[in-house]
Amino acid sequence: MSVLVGHETRLLVQGITGREGAFHTGACRDYGTRVVAGVTPGKGGQEVAGVPVFDTAREAVRATGANTSLVFVPPRFAADAIAEAVDAGLDLVVSITENVPTQDMVRVVRARPPGGTRILGPNCPGAISPNRAKVGIMPGFIHREGAVGVVSRSGTLTYEAVHQLSRRGIGQSTCVGIGGDPVIGTSFVDVLELFAADDETEAVVLIGEIGGSAEEEAADFIRREMTKPVVGFIAGQTAPPGRRMGHAGAIVMGGKGTAAEKMEALRSAGVHVVESPADIGAMMESALPGS
């Protein structure tokens, strides 16, 4: 087993006819993901690299049995594309798009029916289950199949962590980027629940950053529910307060959301917290069961 994406994934790419959409459609397929459809309104009937394009997500789902979507639609239309994927009844919609207005996400998250489509992102690299399916923009070749789940608010910092793991021969079950925006569809806790229940995942790397309280909520969950070891890192220990550090959600406001607070919360929940981002792999090596 892996979580969110795997052999069962049948991928639909929204915004497939754009430059990014077309490029990553190819990259996901080359990795071995079954890419079954694309959607670009008004371009139904075309093909991109052999993948049929539809006008609407509903049509695409009906014709191809797609169950997961990857969104490359420009920011001002991205929330609408996510809403369309939710309406089409997909299991998962992964939004790569950066700079989606926060209030658009507030509305989309509110409109999602309970138990409906899971939304991952926006402003995230996606999810990958090594050797099974890649649904995102991460470089596939740094991953290796194994038993460590990775969950992160960042993109390239996740690659860094994965690289450290793979280099030590530690493979991954699934790596999930939840996104750097203030309002996102899937939280740390949501992914931790999946990893906790996944037979194949034996340990978890959690990479947080300054801003908000998602890491504190994760710490709460870990203290109560998690029996698998968790290694944690928080980026932004040196970030000045009141400034947005690249990600819309990475900001210390009114003295809240600091790295120090988050590291303390995770530590007190039993997480193996590393101060240096270079120590993630080594710490996991020593935290893994049987080591």
Partner 1 sequence: MNLHEHQAKALLAGYDVRVPRGEPVESVGEAVAAASRLGYPVVVKAQIHAGGRGKAGGVRLARNEAAVREAAEAILGHVLVTKQTGPEGRLVRRLLIEEGVDIARELYVSLIVDRSSGRPMIIASAAGGMDIEEVAIETPEKIQTVLVDPAVGLQPFQARRLAFGLGLKGPAFGNGVSFLLALYRAFDGLDASQVEINPMLVTGDGEVLALDAKLSVDDSALFRQRKVAALRDIREESPLEVEADRHHLNYIKLDGSVGCMVNGAGLAMATMDIVKLAGAEPANFLDVGGGASADQIENAFRILSSDSSVRIVLINIFGGILRCDRLAEGLIAAVRKLGLRLPIVIRMEGTNVEVARRMLADSGMDFTPADGMKDAADKVVAKLRAA
Among 142, 192, 205, 222, binds partner 1 (CB under 8 A): 142
Q: Does 258 bind partner 1 (CB under 8 A)?
A: no
Which among 38-46, 55-63, 235-243, 263-271 is the span making contact with partner 1, rule CB under 8 A?
235-243
Are 233 and 278 in contact, with CB atoms under 8 Å apart? no
* Ranges assigned E (strand) in the chain: 10-14, 34-39, 47-48, 51-54, 68-71, 92-95, 118-120, 126-129, 133-136, 145-152, 172-177, 203-209, 230-235, 272-273
Among 45, 115, 238, 290, binds partner 1 (CB under 8 A): 238
Q: Does 82 bind partner 1 (CB under 8 A)?
A: no
Residue placing its CB nearer to partner 1 in the complex, 146 or 236: 236
- Please give the structure tokens belonging to residue 51: 């993948």
1/202 Cα distance (integer angstroms): 12
Residue placing its CB nearer to partner 1 in the complex, 193 or 200: 193
Nearest to 96 by CA among 133, 126, 55: 126
Residue placing its CB nearer to partner 1 in the complex, 7 or 286: 286
Among 5, 37, 210, 263, binds partner 1 (CB under 8 A): 210
Q: Least distance from C-beta 187 to partner 1, angstroms? A: 8
Q: Coil, helix or strand for 210?
A: coil
132/228 Cα distance (integer angstroms): 23
Are 179 and 121 in contact, with CB atoms under 8 Å apart? yes
Residue whose pair of structure tokens reads 């939710």 in the numeric block: 86
Beta-carbon contacts of residue 201 (< 8 Å; ≥ 6 apart): 3, 147, 148, 149, 173, 174, 195, 228
Residue whose pair of structure tokens reads 């629940």 in the numeric block: 193
Beta-carbon contacts of residue 56 (< 8 Å; ≥ 6 apart): 39, 41, 44, 84, 88
Among 46, 56, 213, 258, binds partner 1 (CB under 8 A): 213
Q: Does 155 bind partner 1 (CB under 8 A)?
A: yes
Stretch 167-186: interaction string toward partner 1, x if CB under 8 A: -------------x-xx---
Among 70, 82, 100, 170, binds partner 1 (CB under 8 A): 100
Q: Please compute Rg for the chain using Cα positions.
A: 18
Among 66, 248, 263, 269, binds partner 1 (CB under 8 A): 248
Residues taking part in catalysis: 247
Interactions with partner 1, residue window 1-60 (CB under 8 A): none
Among 114, 115, 254, 290, binds partner 1 (CB under 8 A): 254
Q: Does 106 bind partner 1 (CB under 8 A)?
A: yes
44/67 Cα distance (integer angstroms): 19
Which among 9-17, 50-58, 150-158, 190-198 is the span making contact with partner 1, rule CB under 8 A?
150-158
Binding site residues, partner 1, CB under 8 A: 75-76, 99-103, 105-107, 109-111, 125, 137-139, 141-142, 152-160, 163, 180, 182-183, 207, 209-214, 217, 233, 235-240, 242-243, 245-250, 254-256, 259, 275-278
